[in-house]
Chains A and B, each alone.
Chain A
Amino acid sequence: MRRVATALALVAVSYPLVIAHSTAVVAVGAAALLVCVLGILVATHVLVGGMVLALVEYTLALWISGGPPRPAGAVCLGVVLLLLLEAAEFGRRAHGTALGPGVVPAQIRSWVLFGSITGMVALLASAAANAVSFAVRLPWAPAVAAAGAAVALVGVALALSARRSFSRD
């Protein structure tokens, strides 16, 4: 399972190079890959650090290329990042463990199914957002986006903390 996670990390780090092949992107990508592989072997927190570096690399590539938006590639990258996180965690749990029959196939089935559904939902949502942005022109668009992101984050954090306190009860 660690090999699968490493392959996913390689995909996540390589995609920004397709967008913009510059020295800075390659350098950040190499660092991201190194930290990701270390994280796959050592701990999830390190892996998250590597994935954040991969996001920085992606941002840098987008900024350098400056082309039109690529929603399909972004959705694929998001799904790859999610699967990378889950595969690395599963790999850590399965390492040095007797695996029962059907554990790995069931896990892979679940990832494929969830990845496809999530990808499709994300694509649809981005298409809807695109259509809405064409129909409704908002003033101060970056400020509204930042406020929306902040509200989304706070909402997720609140939902998680509520869930955690519920499970403690």
Chain B
Amino acid sequence: MRLTPLALSVVTLGAWGLVLGVLSGRAELAIVVMPLLLGLLRIGRARAHPDWSLCRALSATRVFEGERVAVTVTVNATEPVPLLELFDPLPPSLRLVAGHNRGLFTLDRGRPVEWRYEVECVRRGRVSLGAVQASLWSRAGLEAAATSADAPAEIRVYPRPLPLRRLPGPRRMQAFVGNYVAPSVGEGLEPGDIRAFAPGDRVRHVNWRASLRFHELFVTRYHQERNADIVLMLDTLTEAGTPPATTLDASIRAAAALATGYLARKDRVGLIEYCGPFRWVRPGSGRAHHERLFEALLGADVMFSYVTQEVALVPRRILPPQALVIAISPLLDARFEKALVDLAARGFDLMVLSPSPIALVRSARRSAAADLACRLWALERRMRAAALQRLGMTIVDWDPDQPLEAALGASRASRRRAVAR
């Protein structure tokens, strides 16, 4: 145990009392300081290392951004502890919303004490709660000993998917059954055209109205319902803004929303993270794959690298030729733009969703010069987007403060025009 500044304060006060007593020649001042000096006799009576332990329990270990987690710390001691101060430091991605992450307890032998507080998970990632810092105080507060107790716990904070009802439709379909009405005819629900009956046609496909009019049997043909391959290409080369509202955070939330939406439509969804080298998740479907994608998004972060890999290095099973590629990038790094040009040149159905960094920068720095710079930057971005559009890409400029649904809705018309051409 070490002495605290309180002991020094008591001595200082005692000294002043004695000095004033000697100067004034009054005995009362010597009597006044007597309780203060007697209080110092308590030093050295507290036990330095009492036996105590703690365990930490979390209400949930897998949550989405914005959700709350209740942390319960149970402290137990095999001998009485006069005052135990505990401090559970929180990482920046957690925010205290209820209770306190600092506690002061008196422990009795074999009687556990429970301490509870709630945190809000503000940013995606693997959040580790490490050692709890502890200070053992004597009852008078004249002595203290610092220690810590390990109680490792991890919370996986997944990106919060943004609400999306309508998704950009792919131009090309795959062979598996899905929710898109394909141009090709075959088995399906959506009626296509009619043709004359041929041996082998099923009776339930006979179009009785046409047959009665033309006095000849006709059958209805149906459009096939197919799925599509969607590849989300995430730019993790750079980001702008401050956490938890960076362009990368917005990109990841958009990717989570798109992945959830397309997987609900039975499409196969893959993920390519471009951080100089490529990291990818092979296209797939189903709930297990949904979890796989979210795990990949959980670890996605900006990684500084001088490496620039060519898109040609990505295998066909990761980037199928018929896939709709949705690139999500703030378009801040020329390497990503080069990769986009490469993909467009290879004939991919390519759409670029660009969370604009300008609004984030403008909200962080408010001045006339910053405003002018942002306007120039916006013009430059518009010029670059136009250049990419001329290569056949659909560019969706998205202000992360606005709903993603609205930004994607504006792109639907331009994609339809492109299909018509």
> Can you name 8 extra interface pairs (CB under 8 A) apart from A69-B26, A97-B103, A98-B117?
A58-B28, A62-B26, A71-B31, A78-B33, A99-B104, A100-B105, A153-B14, A156-B14
A82 within 8 A of partner (CB) = yes
- Chain A neighbourhood of B10, CB < 8 A: 82, 85
CB-contacts of B1-54 with A (<8 A) = 1-40, 42-44
B103 to A98, Cβ gap below 8 A? Answer: yes
Counting CB contacts under 8 A, is A157 at the interface?
Answer: yes
CB neighbours of B168 from chain A (8 A): none
**Binding stretch for chain A, among B137-145, B269-277, B287-295:** B137-145
List, in ascending order, chain B residues with CB within 8 A of A119's CB. Answer: 35
Q: A73-B28, A98-B117 are in contact. Are A110 and B33 (CB under 8 A)?
A: no
Q: Write the nearest CB–CB distance from B294 to chain A, whole angstroms.
A: 34
Give 26 CB contacts A-B under 8 Å. Answer: A44-B5, A48-B12, A55-B13, A71-B27, A74-B28, A74-B29, A86-B6, A93-B85, A93-B104, A97-B100, A98-B102, A98-B104, A98-B115, A100-B107, A100-B115, A103-B104, A107-B139, A110-B139, A121-B38, A126-B31, A142-B25, A145-B21, A149-B21, A159-B40, A167-B1, A167-B3
Complex contacts, B137 vs chain A, CB 8 Å: 93
A109-143 contacts to B (CB < 8 Å): 110, 114-115, 118-119, 121-122, 125-126, 129, 142
Tell whether A18 is near chain B: CB-to-CB under 8 Å: no
User: Per a CB cutoff under 8 Å, which of B32, B141, B143 touches A78?
Assistant: B32
Distance to closest chain B CB from A39 (angstroms): 10
What per-residue 1/0 map shows which CB atoms of B99-121 lie under 8 Å from chain A?
A: 11011111100000101110000
Q: Closest residue to A161 on the B side, CB-wise?
A: B3
Query: Bound state CA distance, A158 and B385, in angstroms?
Result: 77
Q: Does A30 contact B (CB under 8 A)?
A: no
The answer to whether B281 has its CB under 8 Å from any CB of chain A is no
* Partner among B6, B15, B85 whose Cβ is within 8 Å of the Cβ of A153: B15
Known: A45-B9, A81-B32, A164-B3. A86 touches B14 (CB 8 A): no
Ordered nearest first, which 7 A-B pairs have the shortest CB separation? Answer: A100-B105, A78-B35, A149-B18, A74-B31, A74-B28, A98-B103, A122-B34
Instruction: Answer yes or no: B83 CB below 8 A from chain A CBs.
Output: yes
The binding surface of chain A is classed by DSSP as: helix
Do residues A58 and B32 form an inter-chain contact, with CB atoms below 8 A? yes
Contact of B24 among A47, A59, A75, A164 (CB under 8 A): A59
Q: Are B103 and A156 in contact, with the CB atoms below 8 A?
A: no
Chain B min CB distance to A141 (Å): 9
Range class of the A interface residue count:
35 or more
Write out the residue numbers on chain B whose beta carbons fall within 8 Å of the beta carbon of A75.
Answer: 31-32, 34-35
Q: Is the CB of B2 within 8 A of A152?
A: no
A82 partner residues in chain B, CB cutoff 8 A: 10, 35-36, 39
* In the complex, chain A residues whose CB is within 8 Å of the CB of B8: 160
Which residue of chain A has its CB nearest to the CB of B18?
Answer: A149
Q: Which residue of A lies closest to B36 (CB)?
A: A82
**B37 to chain A: closest residue by CB:** A156
- Which of B1, B7, B12, B17 is most buried by chain A, counting CB atoms within 10 A of its CB? B17
Against A, the Cβ 8 Å flags (1 = close, 0 = not) of B167-187 are 000000000000000000000
Kindly identify, within residues 37 to 84 of chain B, every residue whose CB is under 8 Å from any CB belonging to chain A.
37-40, 42-44, 82-83
A49 CB, nearest partner CB in chain B, Å:
10
What chain A residues lie within 8 Å of B27 (beta carbons)? 69, 71, 126, 129
Chain B residues whose CB sits within 8 angstroms of the CB of A167 once the complex forms: 1-3, 143
Cβ of A94 under 8 Å from chain B: yes
CA distance A119 to B35 in the complex (A): 7
Question: Per a CB cutoff under 8 Å, which of B11, B31, B106 touches A103?
Answer: B106
Residue contact A163 to B13, C-beta cutoff 8 Å: no
Query: Do the beta carbons of A85 and B3 come within 8 Å of each other?
Result: no
Contact B31 A78 (CB under 8 A): yes
A residues near B16, Cβ cutoff 8 Å = 52, 55
Query: Complex formed: what's the CA distance from A107 to B140 in Å?
Result: 9
A63 CB contact (under 8 Å) in B26, B31, B102: B26
A69 CB contacts on chain B under 8 angstroms: 26-28
Looking across the interface, which residue of chain B has its beta carbon closest to that of A71?
A: B31
Contact of A103 with B12 at beta-carbon distance under 8 Å, contacts A59-B24, A70-B28 already known? no
Q: Is the CB of B29 within 8 A of A58?
A: yes
Taking a contact as CB atoms closer than 8 A, the residue among A48, A100, A110, A125 that contacts B34 in the complex is A125
The digit string for B366-403, where 1 denotes a CB below 8 A from any CB of A, is 00000000000000000000000000000000000000
A10 at the interface (CB under 8 A from B): no
Q: Cβ of A51 < 8 Å from any Cβ of B?
A: yes
Q: Are the C-beta atoms of A71 and B103 separated by less than 8 Å? A: no
- Is B34 a contact partner of A126 (Cβ separation < 8 A)? yes
User: Which of A93, A146, A156 touches B11 (beta carbons < 8 Å)?
Assistant: A156
- A59 and B35: CB pair below 8 A? no
Residue among A74, A153, A157 with the highest chain B CB neighbour number at 10 A: A74
A74 to chain B, nearest CB (A): 4
Are B43 and A85 in contact, CB atoms less than 8 angstroms apart? no
The minimal Cβ–Cβ distance linking A153 to chain B, given in whole angstroms, is: 5
- Among B100, B102, B141, point to the contact of A86 (Cβ < 8 A): B141
* Identity of the chain B residue whose Cβ is nearest the Cβ of A121 in the assembled complex: B38
Q: Which residues of B contact A56 (CB under 8 A)?
A: 20
How far is A159 from B20 in the complex, measured between Cα atoms in Å?
A: 23
> Which of A58, A93, A106, A149 meets B22, CB within 8 Å?
A149
Residues in B whose Cβ lies below 8 Å from that of A78: 31-36
